[in-house]
Amino acid sequence: MRHIAAVTFDLWDTLIQEHPGGSDKVAALRIDRICKYLNDKGMVHTKGEVATAYRKSGDFLEMTWSKRRDMPVRDQVLFILASVDSRLTGKLSEQDLQNIEKAYSYSILDHPPALLPGAKEALKAVRSRGYRLGLISNTGRTPGTVLRVLMGNMGILEYFDATTFSNEILVRKPSQGAFTVTLEKLKVVPKAAVHVGDDPESDIAGAKRVGMRAVQIISNGMRPSASADDSTTSLDELLRLIENL
């Protein structure tokens, strides 16, 4: 039997889930705050102009993400501002950029996602058995610094020995680096770790390619993966499945 020493988790749709319409509310808040900040500084632009720039940045992000790469949140903000007006970034101070970046990054806390049923209990149960816990999460527009705040507010950050977010390492699951950098933090080899996630490619195939075991959480209409070592629709079963590996 292969000894498991560590368990890594995906975040979105594995431990937390967005409320219906949540991403639209957060997007609207980001656009409003950027527009207000610029107007308050005397750089008058309409909400429509900022919204168009925001959509353009989304297209650019999707292209970047499709290559399994990621970018720092500052670069996202600079792209939006340059799309509003190519001269904007030259008119803003470093403090201005920091303020806009903070408004952009922290808006999710006004409309936070929900902790999935059984998530906290599952983390507590796995941790209580002596496994080291890691988090491997692809990010969207919200960076890892803010997602850690969110996890702290939810009472789940304390269970993790290591947290890895794609905007900080600039690669995304299923890239091997997203997994190996986390395993290095946990000081375990791939064969002694199991990854828990919902996505057949990013989580399951990615983990299997580096030599980890993988348990799939079937949620949000995600298709089952044939390569998963096991799967479940309920986090209540997770500890039993891990211990059976």
- Statement to judge: residues 178 and 151 lie in one domain: yes
Domain finish residue from 91, 110, 129:
110
For the record, the structure tokens of 122 come out as: 């599952």
Q: Say what percent of the chain tops pLDDT 70.
A: 99
pLDDT digits 0-9 by tens, 82-130 = 999 999 999 999 999 999 999 999 999 999 999 999 999 999 999 999 9
Q: Who's near 80: CB < 8 A, 6+ residues apart?
A: 34, 50, 53, 54, 56, 57, 104
Residue 1 pLDDT: 42
CATH of the domain at 143: 3.40.50.1000
Judgement on whether residues 161 and 205 belong to the same structural domain of the protein: yes
* Residue 61: inside a domain: yes
Tokens of 52: 């168009």
Residues 150 and 203 both lie in one domain: yes
Say if residue 54's pLDDT is above 70: yes
> Are residues 100 and 184 part of one domain?
no
Identify whether residues 56 and 141 lie together within a single domain: no
Task: Find all residues with CB under 8 Å of 73, minimum gap 6, and list them.
Answer: 101, 104, 105, 141, 143, 167
Is 212 within a domain? Answer: yes
Q: Which domain holds residue 129?
A: 6-18+114-244
> How many structural domains comprise the chain?
2
Q: Which residue type sits at 99?
A: N
Single pTM value for the model: 0.95
119 and 240 assigned to the same domain: yes
